[in-house]
Structure 1
Amino acid sequence: MSTNAKQNSIIADPSLAHDGHLKIDWVRAHMPVLNRIRDRFEKEQPFKGLKVAISLHLEAKTAYLAKVVQAGGADVTITGSNPLSTQDDVCAALVEDGITVFAKYNPSPEEYKQLLVHTLETKPDLIIDDGGDLVTILHSERQDLLAQVRGGAEETTTGILRLKAMEKEGQLKFPMVAVNDAFCKYLFDNRYGTGQSVWDGINRTTNLVVAGKTVVVVGYGWCGKGVAMRAKGLGANVIVTEIDAIKAVEAYMDGFAVMPMVEAAKVGDFFVTVTGNRDVIRGEHYEVMKDGAILSNAGHFDVEVNKPELEALSVSKRTVRRNIEEYELKDGRKVYILAEGRLVNLAAGDGHPAEIMDMTFALQAMSLKYVNDQYKAIGNKVVNVPYELDEQVARFKLESLGFGIDSLSAEQKAYLESWIEH
């Protein structure tokens, strides 16, 4: 065990480490792409002598990413990106493995913020962020820590929106790689990962049947596509609400009903928000909801379901099951919110399947190496994951499955590249 990591860390209970190690060992056995990258990092040591700060949902799969970065020579510090997704046993295991951890399950808002600050006070050279919390603090409250940061990688849509706003205003002070926009992220993590893990969280929390119910999916981006697809597979009648006409037509063509939220609110049994925006379910919607409606969020921040407006319309509030809050409205109707409106797949579940996060975290590890190698050339802007890295992750995944694909012949390449041959 690293004495430095043990002394500096802030975690809930070091005695939980054994269970945390078991969780990490399980996901490692199901993350062959990341294992391959770890082997490469151990040989090449791309982060030797560097400090890396990570803010992600701190559960077993994230823990293994931290260990892969550590295997590349980095001094790693990690914190959570959501108060309810941190797993205390995993934190304890990481400390035993020499990684500094500032995280615990369900801290107060003030404590949660301080844990982020502690992570940045290690003066990292590189960062991996989720939702832009580390980057925002660095550019607002702790600009004294900016100079050493070479760059980093961002995990999610919400964070990339924040980064691009900073870049547009000329405020971004180092390069960030938009991992969320990579093919091997949004095609698989956002769609299949979110689709499965959201329903894992809802089902284990509510213990209710989905078949025959009406599910309202709020937003039809890649995450919304996955949630709607899995709801349909569970036997639900699915309604999609959208602000984008093109996505709304796509939802219709995929076999789903499309309507404004104020109409969908009247008939929904389950609601899942996946927009990245605030107040997409609010007062006017609560006023027409069915008795027993169940609301959940799969966006990064807990702002999509407006809780203050629901509380204002309620006469009582109580916790009826772990991660289920019941709001009784003035007319006797009851509305339920799962996991305090935070990410239901992580706050009330274990997040995406290990095989899915294998690709996403492989992209994170490779993007971190890329930005470290190229940060001076990239400049202070948001850039996409290079296609060759994206494709390499896909090839590693195929190889781990025992699959192969074809290659173009010289004649085929010439045909595709010529305007004369036909």
Structure 2
Amino acid sequence: MGTRPDHDVADLGLAEVGQARVEWADARMPVLRSIRERFAREQPLAGVRVAVCLHVTTETANLVRALSAGGAEVALCASNPLSTQDDVAAALVDRYDASVHAIQGEDMATYYDHIEHVVDTRPQITMDDGADVISVIHSRRTELLGDIVGGTEETTSGVLRLRALESQGKLGFPVVAVGEAQTKRFFDDRYGTGQSTLDGILRATNTLLAGRVVVVFGYGWCGRGIALRARGAGSQVVVCEVDPLRALEAKLDGFEVMPALAAAAKGDVFVTATGGRDVVRREHYELMRDGALLCNAGHFDVELNLADLRAVAPERRVVREHVEQHVTPDGRRLHLLAQGRVVNLAAAEGHPAAVMDVAFANQALAAEYLVRHAHELRAGVIEVPRELDHEISRLTLASLGVEIDALTAGQQEYLTAWEIGT
């Protein structure tokens, strides 16, 4: 091995273990693998500098491999201090020649220092999960804006930040809202978050969900998936919503719907998935029963108001890995999972590789799209082109061995004509 790329990881000695895990995930990511093979032939990203700020997992490693195969110069940092898999970070540096700055459990100063290292590469494409790279560039590194062709954003929380930036007329380049692609919402948000959130809860607590009351805050794509999987585990599911249409949908889907204060006194397990802040706060903690489990499935650790939790339950201690017990003056024990950070990654491994196969296929094709259409795109948040969603769906169906019908010429004509009446 020659000179290693610029990096800051926990232990390069973990590379062999990490490589085995990356290869395991790769075997379960046929769509991204097919894109990587095409990229290797066509080199659509040749010489393009890509700054990637995503969860450093086995699946992300395979996205980095696909981008690199397409000719990109990739620099990677973590989008969450607790989600980095140190063996994967080591493998990316030592076995796949990627520049990585990410250490599991890094403090916030190190976290932002790592983002700065990635930004120092003067990226032409940014790839975010939470918009932290874009936020740093727009707040402190505006001299880089002229180099950037465009960006991508993986998560709904990040898209919300970008739309706020756009509404102020300050977003300096086009950003593809990968988090809003239909394939990403189906696979990643509903099925991925649903399964991996329960996985995080179970790994952290080893609790029995059957017969428990699980309260889900937010009935967007992630909330739907969590509620569905919790019901499948035998839980009684309560949904709390502020949007009347989503609340009605939850009710018609067979879930109890009630205000958060009513649910606080009833629940055993509380899961936030709203993208907002202070979803659970003092007045809710004051009503919770002894033994309650509190966790967050949203990207940022602001959905559970932790200052209020510490005020209501000042006595605290770690009782299991990823479980902090807070005790109220009257003796109630409230258990915070994964420090209030995204539980499916901080306390487990995140989404299954088959889920991230689809999500990261969106990322790879969006990067290619940005390069090919750089001079046509406006600054602002843009949708994933419909043809990319369809191509990813086609590749995914093919990988599953599923065939579908095609419209006949007559059917196509009927759907595009106005003259045909009753």
- Same-fold call, TM > 0.5? yes
Is the 1:240–1:251 contact (alpha carbons within 8 Å) kept by the matching residues of 2? yes
Q: Give the Cα separation in 1 of the matches to 2:187 and 2:355.
A: 7
Matching residue of 1:311 = 310
Segments of 5+ residues of structure 1 without an aligned counterpart are none
Is 1:3 the counterpart of 2:3? The answer is yes
Aligned to 2:121: 122
Which residue pairs with 1:221 in the alignment? 220
Cα distance in 2 for residues equivalent to 1:123 and 1:418: 50
Residues 2 and 98, structure 1, Cα contact 8 Å, conserved in 2: no
Partner in structure 2 of residue 165 of structure 1: 164
Aligned counterparts of 1:214 and 1:180: Cα–Cα separation in 2: 29
Aligned AA (2:253): D
Q: Do residues 182 (structure 1) and 185 (structure 2) align?
A: no
1:389 aligns with 2:388: yes
Q: TM-score, normalised by structure 2?
A: 0.98
Q: Which residue of 1 aligns with 2:248?
A: 249
Match of 2:343 in 1: 344
Rounded to whole Å, the distance in 2 between the matches of 1:242 and 1:58 is 32
Equivalent residue of 1:128, what SS?
A: strand
Q: Distance in 1 between matches of 2:229 and 2:138?
A: 39
Letter in 1 for 2:375: K
- Distance in structure 1 (CA, Å) of the matches to 2:53 and 2:76: 6
Q: CA–CA distance in 2 between the matches of 1:87 and 1:128?
A: 19
**Counterpart residue number, 1:285:** 284
Q: Calculate the TM-score normalised by the size of structure 1.
A: 0.98
Cα drift, residue 4 of structure 1: 4.6
Q: What does residue 61 of structure 1 align with? A: 59
Q: Show structure 1 runs of 4+ deviating over 3 A.
A: none
8 Å CA contact retained: 1:2, 1:99: no
Give CA deviations for 1:163-192 in whole Å, capped at 9, x if unaligned: 111111110111100001111001221000
Q: Is the 8 A contact 2:129 2:153 kept in 1?
A: yes
Cα deviation for residue 374 of structure 1 reads 1.2
User: How many Å apart are 1:2 and its aligned residue?
Assistant: 5.5
Letter in 2 for 1:66: V
C-alpha distance in structure 1 between counterparts of 2:384 and 2:58, whole Å: 24
How far is 1:375 from its partner? 2.2
Contact 2:173–2:380 (8 Å) recurs in 1: yes
Matches within 5 A, 1:60-99: 60-96=58-94, 97-99=96-98
Indicate the residue corresponding to 2:199 in structure 1.
200
Deviations 1:303-356, CA, capped at 9 Å, x for gaps? 000111111122311000000000001111010010000000000011011111
Distance 1:283 1:181 in 2: 33
User: Which residues of structure 2 form unaligned runs of 5+?
Assistant: none
Aligned-partner residue type, residue 31 of structure 1 = M
Alignment of 1:260-409 (within 5 A): 260-409=259-408
Given that 2:4 and 2:93 are in contact with CA atoms closer than 8 Å, whether structure 1 keeps it comes out as no
CA deviations on 1:97-128 (whole Å, 9 max, x unpaired) are 11000110011111111111111011111111
| Structure 2 CA distance for aligned equivalents of residues 196 and 233 of structure 1 | 10
- 1:12-27 maps to which residues of 2 (within 5 A)? 12-27=10-25
CA distance in 1, matches of 2:346, 2:4: 30
Contact 2:126/2:152 (8 A) holds in 1: yes
Q: Output the amino acid matched with 1:204.
A: R
Give the number of aligned pairs: 420
Displacement of 1:152 after TM fit? 1.1
In the alignment, the residues of structure 1 paired with residue 138 and residue 314 of structure 2 have an alpha-carbon distance, to the nearest angstrom, of 42
State how far apart, in whole Å, the 2-side matches of 1:119 and 1:4 are.
16
Report % sequence identity. Answer: 49
CA distance in structure 2 between the partners assigned to 1:146 and 1:105 by the alignment: 30
What residue identity is the alignment partner of 2:227? A
Corresponding letter in the other structure for 1:42: A
Q: 2:31 aligns with which of 27, 30, 33?
A: 33
Distance in 2 of aligned mates of 1:388 and 1:150: 21
2-side partners of 1:217 and 1:379: how far apart?
38
CA distance in 1 between counterparts of 2:146 and 2:412 reads: 46
Report the CA distance between 1:153 and its aligned residue: 0.6
- The change in CA–CA distance for 1:9 and 1:2 in structure 2 (over 3 A counts) is farther
Cα separation, partners in 2 of 1:174 and 1:2, compared to 1, 3 Å: farther
What do residues 83-105 of structure 1 show as CA deviations (whole Å, max 9, x unaligned)?
Answer: 00001100000001110001100
Equivalent pair of 1:121/1:145 in contact (CA under 8 Å): no
SS of equivalent residue, structure 2 residue 146: coil
Q: How does 1:140-151 map to 2 (within 5 A)?
A: 140-151=139-150
Q: How far apart, in 1, do the equivalents of 2:108 and 2:397 lie?
A: 42
1:48 aligns with 2:19: no
Q: Distance in 2 between matches of 1:69 and 1:184?
A: 20
Output the CA distance in 2 between the equivalents of 1:189 and 1:310.
Answer: 30
Alignment partners' CA distance in 2, 1:131 and 1:237? 31
**In the alignment, is the contact (CA less than 8 A) between 1:239 and 1:256 conserved in 2?**
yes
Alpha-carbon distance in 1 for matches of 2:374, 2:299: 27
Quick one: distance in 2 between partners of 1:13 and 1:188?
33
CA RMSD of aligned residues (A): 0.9
